[in-house]
Structure 1
Amino acid sequence: MRLRRMATAALAAAAMSTLGIAAASPAALGASTTLAAYPAWQAWTAYSTGAKVTYNGVDYECVQGHTSQPGWEPPNVPALWKVAGGGGGDTTPPSVPGNLRSTGSTTGSISLAWNASTDDTGVTGYNVYRNGNLVTTVTGTTYTDTGLSAGTSYSYTVRARDAANNLSGPSNTLTASTQSGNGAPGAPGTPTVTGSANSSISLSWPASSGTVTGYRVYEGGTQVAQVTGTTATISNLTTCSSHTYTVKAYNATGESAASGAVTGSTTGCPTGGRMPGAPYLYMGWGDPPNAATVMDATGIKSFTMAFILSGGGCTPKWDGQRQLSGGVDAQTISTIKSKGGNVQVSFGGWQGNKLGPNCSTPAAFAGAVQQVIDAVGPAVVDFDIENTDEFENYTVQDRILNGLKTVKQNNPNVKVVVTFGTTTSGPNSHGVRLINQAKALGVPIDNYTIMPFDFGGGANMYQNTVNASEGLKNALKSANGWTDAQAYAHMGISGMNGLSDQQEQTSPATWTQIRDWALSKGLTRLAFWSANRDRPCPGGGVAENCSGIAQQNWEFTKITAGF
């Protein structure tokens, strides 16, 4: 995992080297500059302590002078910015508004509604965004957007804000259309999946405005159903297959614009594939928490124990130093199992002396893994394949993959996972090569887990995680000829709670969104780095024993337990 890639002191030094106000930059903003004169945040601008900006409708104050870099937007770097007037006290955002939907439309307007958010200090309003731009802030949970063009589709999201101007993550994205103006009905609301079976999917959707004769359901450009009400069941589908639908209303005059799209899957997929949520737990540093304490506080039943490295040649040891049996790692695993839990064991990571380059053959690699399985009795073995020595070295990649064939043959009840980094659009060339090579070599990998963080800063971590996961899905489909549902069933997400190495922020609300998306798509693994960091230290930056943000103890672990 990425925090092991760079010592905390080195991170601090790297950050401080960029904080000098004298850095070459196109503009400088002093403490006396007003919001009206300088309303927007910009990268590569020198900010003095006390400078104020407005970013995404929220006022921020600089608490430490610096030259800003891409990705250092105020919400992402609490060590440098605070909400203006908020005193730096309340930094917990409201929960994400739910079920954004259209409640009607005309030729020039679209009416919206959403579920209310909650917050410890109360929700003061909601920012409404059209096509990514802030339109207005309202106090209630409804809004009618006017002055729109007829027969046009628009994209909406909503974010809640509290008394300290903290913003929640974005709601679901809604695509809605105005009426065409030619007498046809308005577009129906986005449908939802209300049920599924081995060969059918049932849908429901909000009614259209105007005169409606009935509704037609489309998969792509093909009509698959026509009904008079606002529900439909599409039958004669393939077992364990994924389908995306839109709905259009019609009358004697014509057909409406399409609703937003919904994706559903038939049942009948192989069962028993989901692994319990398992945050990484590292006993080598980071003030390791007591596993029993965390289990009692959160309900978590599994941990991913990190990391197995080379203790010299092809000999496996915890962190390359501690024996497989008799030490703190074995004692922790015994505690977890005594409380009804199980463990996943992770091999490799970003740094350290790894088994892949040190074991000379696939058979030797498989033998080293077998030593760990025999000593630990894990439910899952996770191979965190990173960096130039394993991920980008195709000789070593192939050695690991061929070794995993033997591991799976000898341990059919132990799940085999490979974990690797990703771009915002999915696996890079090394990841795609690993997926394709696993297929070519016939390696029965149970789960491909991506690490969707360290994208380069400034990320919408929920949306980028979804985009990266969809890219992984497409790569798995291409390599294996799978359906969407089959690909999702072989996928996992391993995030980084709080601040990542590149100052990207994943809040508990965002992690909840990611977990719920993974559940909705049928993903089978969820982890994060790490339980050691699942403690608050607002403004603490990237640390090994806390998240760098305001949170409750073990908050991310509790969310993960819901997987």
Structure 2
Amino acid sequence: MRFRDRAVAGLTTLLLPFAALVGLATPAEAATSATATYAKTQDWGTGFEGKWTIKNTGTTSISSWTVEWDFPSGTSVTSAWEADVTGSGTHWTAKNKSYNGTLAPGASVSFGFNGAGSGSPSGCKLNGASCDGGSVPGDNPPSAPGKPTASDITNTSVKLSWTAATDDNGIKNYDVLRDGTKVATVTGTSYSDTGLTAGTDYSYAVQARDSADQTGPVSSSVAVRTTGGSTDPTPSPGGKVKLGYFTEWGVYGRNYHVKNLVTSGSASKITHINYAFGNVKNGQCVVDDTYAAYDKAYTADQSVDGVADTWDQPLRGNFNQLRKLKAKYPNIKVLYSFGGWTYSGGFGQAAQNPAAFAESCHKVLNDPRWADVFDGIDIDWEYPNACGLTCDTSGAAAFKNLMSALRGKFGTSKLVTAAITADGSSGGKIDAADYGGAAQYIDWYNVMTYDYFGAWAAQGPTAPHSPLTSYSGIPTAGFNSDAAIQKLKGKGVPAGKLLLGIGFYGRGWTGVTQSAPGGTATGPAAGTYEQGIEDYKVLKTSCPATGTIAGTAYAHCGSNWWSYDTPSTIAGKMTWAKNQGLGGAFFWEFSGDTAGGELVSAINSGLQ
């Protein structure tokens, strides 16, 4: 991309094939009346991610906890979070942090770590006593049940059903979770939830329990919206990621605010928002425009919930409006995106100390003023080991190392994603970094399948900036969505971890006499904010589409030539994305759409 208002150009889970949960305990009387159980939550061959869960099973509070265990030779802890972990030979000790040592009766806490090797822990001790996990040696917890399906949705109820979990000694029952809270325990594989509120969004998941009362991993969740309510019911987001970028600076000249997502109808048709951009300074994540982010005051009519900000409230600005949006639309997840075209120069220094960078990002996202706002982090590095606004020489492994550090720091509690190049040419930007190797650490890639061609080539030839496929006369081989997606698949990136990028804007030239692509020009066409670029909401009437090429619309009006996506071409691209098995689609960015959100609607409908 050649301008600041762009996220570089791709829902699947990060988890690799699941390793069985292991309860490490022998029946014993624990002096602290507590248990410690272990789970291997990821395994990537040369290493793994582990998690310990400590639960107070007694009747009095615990003020601190220490978990000890042994690994076989060749297996070790490489990083940890939510506990201070130290090792001596093959023996490992984890102590609580200052903020998570106290456990009330019935409460539990978890900490995680990344490990090298393939061994399993043994000899577990909790506060000096045996870890009594309540499990029989060799008895593995159950698998995750299937993702629930919803049916018979009414104003106040929904019927849920799911495929059974498996267990070596049999399933005892299932916990049904609504918005993360258990609402029922059932012995079968269906449940009808009643007493709901009309016109309201809910999220459901289920978790199996075996005969030893061990719980397995939680299933994938399904979003449900009850019928009725004060507004017309809106469709549930479905199984694909539908993600849009919200720009921090859009609240100024563009006058686009979080409330516009509601008034346009877009909020009910998306699953994720990337808030752009945080800056990368001195190798660390930092908030960029603090006024727009968390200080700008909103009046009642500007606010998502119709309530005005007060001078003394602890959080205002975009962050507070996003919090209100999530309360209104609980299915939406918000990620904080760092970098972008302008701020990617800081990633080179970050790559020199990935752990410190990850620590700084974790600190920003978990600031107590807005820790509930962000569900993950998005890295928009333009471009690792290649040239963007500046040229990076960090090496092919730098991007993978950075993503590994972020996953290690955030664990599985947050989404970790990245916006990446869509340069599918031979020896191009996709080949410059180890995107295949880094895929194990990310939930998905936002593949920036736009800005292939534009008026930075002032004399042309005119070409669609977001071609889906190649075509006769395309100026550069490999500069199209299909080439990028196939190259990434060839490098081992699962199709489900790739999102197709859509631009809510057009790129154009002036001085053009030829209607078909391939004509000459004299320079960039005039744009509202920058030469050579214009929002879709303007172009749809100022220069209506006159043809299509490679799945993208183009328009010749007067001496100007523009290319951009329309609801029709987006529908075609979404069909292609589904046929390719992609995880969904994303777009740059909300303010380019019409007041009624017609492009967002096209993405939503196309991915159903």
State if a TM-score over 0.5 links the two structures.
Answer: no
